[in-house]
Amino acid sequence: MTNLDEHGGGQHTPDVMVVTTNDVPGHQVEQVIGEVFGLTVRSRNIGSQLGASFKSLAGGELRGLTKTLVESRNQAMDRLVEQARARGANAVLAMRFDVTEAGGNGTEICAYGTAAVIRPTS
């Protein structure tokens, strides 16, 4: 059995809903607050890079890199939620991730979306 936290992630904050859609079924957008993002930059670990190099010769999943990417995405998402909460939002709509190289020394991971106040429709 696999540990889901090592291979996937997601948001687990009950007070700020994060969705990839532009709206939330059963909810009405009361206020659009604006763009929010969470950012993290991770440097490459020489040990994991060597392990990945050897693993790539044989093929298969690079588990160490997968775990690092999941941790990084979760950290970026946690920062996104912190920003939304600090601005008075209870939702982030149209959330996306962007991953880019950061100066050849690491990877930048950004979670971004639109902070909003939503309420259930009656």
In the chain, what are the domain boundaries? 13-120
In the Cβ-directed half-sphere of 16, how many Cα atoms lie within 13 Å? Answer: 25
Q: Which of 12-26, 56-70, 102-116 is predicted with the least confidence, judged by mean pLDDT? A: 56-70
Alpha carbon of residue 35 to chain centroid: 15
Measured in degrees and rounded to the nearest 5, phi and psi for residue 92 equal -125, 120
Predicted TM-score (pTM) of the model is 0.79
pLDDT tens per residue across span 36-67? 999 999 886 555 555 555 555 567 777 777 78
Q: What is the mean pLDDT of residues 62-91?
A: 90
Determine how many CB atoms are found less than 10 A away from the CB of residue 9.
18
Say how far apart CA 63 and CA 2 lie, in whole Å: 12
Residue with tokens 């959330």: 95
> Contacts from 19-22 at CB under 8 Å and sequence distance 24+?
19/91, 19/92, 19/93, 19/94, 19/95, 20/94, 20/95, 20/96, 21/93, 21/94, 22/93, 22/94
Q: Is 3.30.360.10 the CATH number for 13-120?
A: no
Q: Are 34 and 114 a contacting pair, CB within 8 Å?
A: yes
